[in-house]
């Protein structure tokens, strides 16, 4: 405790957790670097302030000064704290983990972290936090990919619905790992190299009023040979041709001119990447005809339009009708490939709507999925836990009346055993020092807790799953962290290897996770040894 000028004693902070260690690691590393450079006594001045009033208001209440003064007045680092900081500045933990992007199952250790108990315990919350959402949203993305099918393009459009900026960026990254092809999130695209996709909004379409708003009407041919002086007139000419063509006559009359203006404006800006949102007014009577007129004008100049996006209405019906319209254009004007124009669908899509579209029959080529994907609407959390399994070379077990919460003790190794058809059959957990399973060997695989559940497996291929990613102070060889693209490819390959009945959306077959006979015996020995014996009275 310290005292002020009046002699009043200032006690420490109210919250005992407010100690010098409640800080970021780099504060200590920088302080040490300053000291090493003999800069630690140079006088500096810092201001503390904020940039904007909260809650959309115009005032803020300053609070917390007392606790700051209490903390600063009593700032002392104990000898124990100094020793802890000094000994833990360099890496001190070993980390073993299954490669990112791997298909994993309950009870299988995804990571094993070894080191001083205090240090490893400090890692619990951040590690659980980092794994929980990442695994959950990657899984959600993979499930959407499975329902959509391999041939469809999946676009992550979830930034505006995500839980904050960090949630939005994380979602983009982990949806990409889970099998999505691109994102609308520019920040994530820059950070992680994820392909970017996007077109325009309804606001862009409705912001235009008439064709007179287009002041620059010229567009140079793609090959650069000449320039179309009046692209607007070329579009209008094509729109008239479509309107009175034999196969399309009577489908529409006058289209919405503000929409046509918006499409022309967008095409002039992006002639190589013209994809139009066609449902602002009427899809079949305005949006699709307007798009086709612009696409045909672009074709005259050597450009190829990308397609359309549907964001409302009966997506199955509208996609089929749009495809018929494109095919009629192709046949009427002898334009090979026009009928295959891309159709993208959005509008609060999820697994159920994708499945319903498949059952109805549709002509959608790409899906833009946001809210249900990035918020993991169907499940709030994965439920990752972090449990002690060994200390001072002594195995530890966590018991519970709920068998699913009983932990599997000791250091372990994990193997994936494959059958004749190259499908994984079972994940086998063994003690660290047990001999590894071999190809062609008859292996007894046991359920960790249920005595009657057991089976023999003769693997055709054996894969050890965990690898070393941090060697701590040891000289063990470390795995290099792969680029995001490789993680995504691993995820896709892993999903393709799984048996279809394990992957189906409804009533999937549970995948087996087993322990070796030796580990099974040890689990139950430890269980009996640690569980208290009751007494009847």
Burial per residue of 126-148, b for 16 or more beta-carbon CB atoms within 10 angstroms, e otherwise: ebeeebebbbbbbbbbbbbbbbb
Distance CA 104, CA 97 (A): 11
The average pLDDT across 275-296 equals: 97
Distance CA 376, CA 381 (A): 8
Common-topology check for domains 25-143+378-530 and 199-359? no
Q: Assess contact for 260 and 290: CB atoms under 8 A.
A: yes
Query: 3-state DSSP call for residue 130?
Result: helix
CATH 3.30.310 fits 199-359, yes or no: no
Quickly state the pLDDT bin for 42 (edges 50, 70, 90): low
**Among candidates 150, 185, 143, which has minimal Cα distance to 168?**
185
**Among candidates 97, 177, 189, which has minimal Cα distance to 141?**
177
Q: Assess contact for 345 and 360: CB atoms under 8 A.
A: no
Helix pair angle (124-148, 351-360), 10° resolution: 10
Q: What is the pLDDT of residues 140-185, one digit of tens each?
A: 999 899 999 999 999 999 999 998 887 888 899 989 999 999 999 9
**Among candidates 207, 179, 216, which has minimal Cα distance to 194?**
179
Look at 130 and 47; give whichever has higher pLDDT.
Answer: 130
Distance CA 487, CA 495 (A): 12
Q: What is the pLDDT of residues 84-135, one digit of tens each?
A: 666 554 456 778 888 889 998 888 888 888 877 766 666 677 777 778 888 8
Query: 3-class secondary structure for 426-460?
Result: EEEEEECCCCCCCCCCCEEEECCCCCCCEEEECCC
**Domain coordinates of the chain in residue numbers?**
25-143+378-530, 199-359
Is the per-residue pLDDT at 194 higher than 80?
A: yes
pTM: 0.82
Q: Assess contact for 176 and 140: CB atoms under 8 A.
A: no
Architecture of domain 25-143+378-530: Alpha-Beta Barrel (3.20)
Q: Is 150 exposed, middle or buried (0-12, 13-18, 19+ CB in 10 A)?
A: exposed
Q: Helices in 112-230 by DSSP H: which ranges?
A: 117-122, 124-148, 164-177, 186-192, 202-206
Pairing of strands 182-183, 94-97: unpaired
Distance CA 299, CA 305 (A): 8
Quickly state the pLDDT bin for 29 (edges 50, 70, 90): low
First to last CA, the chain: 55
């Amino acid at each position: 405790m310290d005292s002020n000028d009046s002699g009043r004693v200032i006690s420490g902070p109210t919250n005992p957790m407010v100690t010098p260690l409640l800080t970021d690691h780099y504060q200590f590393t920088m302080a040490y670097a300053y000291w090493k450079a003999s800069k630690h006594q140079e006088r500096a001045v810092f201001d503390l302030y904020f940039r904007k009033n909260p809650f959309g208001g115009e005032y803020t209440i300053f609070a917390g000064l007392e606790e700051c003064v209490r903390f600063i007045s009593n700032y002392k680092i104990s000898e124990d704290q100094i020793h802890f900081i000094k000994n833990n500045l360099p890496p001190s933990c070993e980390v073993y983990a299954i490669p990112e992007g791997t298909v994993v199952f309950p009870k299988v250790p995804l990571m094993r972290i070894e080191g001083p108990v205090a240090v490893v315990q400090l890692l619990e919350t951040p590690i659980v936090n980092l794994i929980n959402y990442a695994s959950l949203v990657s899984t959600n993305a993979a499930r959407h990919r499975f329902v959509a099918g391999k041939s469809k393009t999946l676009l992550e459009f979830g930034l505006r619905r995500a839980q904050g900026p960090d949630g939005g960026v994380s979602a983009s990254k982990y949806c990409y790992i889970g099998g999505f092809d691109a994102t609308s999130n520019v920040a994530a695209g820059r950070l992680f190299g994820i392909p970017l996709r996007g077109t325009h909004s309804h606001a862009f379409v409705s912001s235009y009023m008439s064709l007179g708003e287009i002041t620059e009407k010229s567009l140079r041919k793609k090959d650069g040979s000449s320039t179309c002086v009046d692209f607007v007139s070329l579009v209008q000419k094509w729109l008239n041709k479509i309107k009175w063509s034999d196969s399309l006559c009577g489908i529409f009359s006058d289209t919405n001119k503000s929409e046509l203006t918006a499409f022309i404006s967008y095409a002039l800006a992006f002639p190589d990447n013209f994809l139009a949102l066609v449902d602002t007014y009427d899809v079949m009577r305005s949006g699709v005809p307007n798009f086709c007129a612009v696409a045909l004008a672009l074709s005259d100049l050597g450009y190829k339009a990308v397609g359309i996006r549907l964001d409302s209405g009966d997506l199955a019906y509208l996609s089929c009708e749009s495809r018929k319209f494109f095919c009629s254009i192709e046949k009427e004007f002898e334009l090979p490939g026009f009928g295959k124009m891309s159709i993208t669908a959005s509008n609060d899509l999820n697994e159920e709507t994708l499945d319903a579209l498949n059952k109805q029959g549709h002509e959608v080529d790409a899906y833009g999925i946001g809210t249900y994907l990035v918020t993991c609407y169907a499940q709030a959390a994965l439920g990752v836990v972090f449990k002690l399994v060994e200390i001072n070379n002594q195995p530890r077990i966590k018991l519970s009346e709920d068998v699913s919460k009983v932990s599997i003790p000791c250091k372990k190794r994990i193997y994936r055993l494959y059958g004749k058809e190259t499908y994984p059959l079972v994940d086998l957990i063994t003690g660290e020092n047990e001999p590894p399973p071999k190809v062609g060997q008859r292996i007894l695989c046991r359920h960790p807790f249920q005595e009657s559940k057991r089976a023999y497996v003769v693997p055709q291929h054996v894969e050890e799953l965990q690898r070393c990613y941090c060697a701590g102070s040891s000289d063990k060889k470390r795995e290099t962290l792969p680029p995001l693209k490789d993680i995504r490819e691993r995820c896709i390959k892993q999903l393709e290897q799984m048996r279809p009945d394990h992957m189906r959306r409804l009533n999937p077959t549970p995948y087996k996770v087993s322990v070796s006979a030796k580990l099974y015996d040890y689990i139950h020995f430890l269980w009996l040894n640690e569980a208290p014996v009751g007494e009847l009275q």
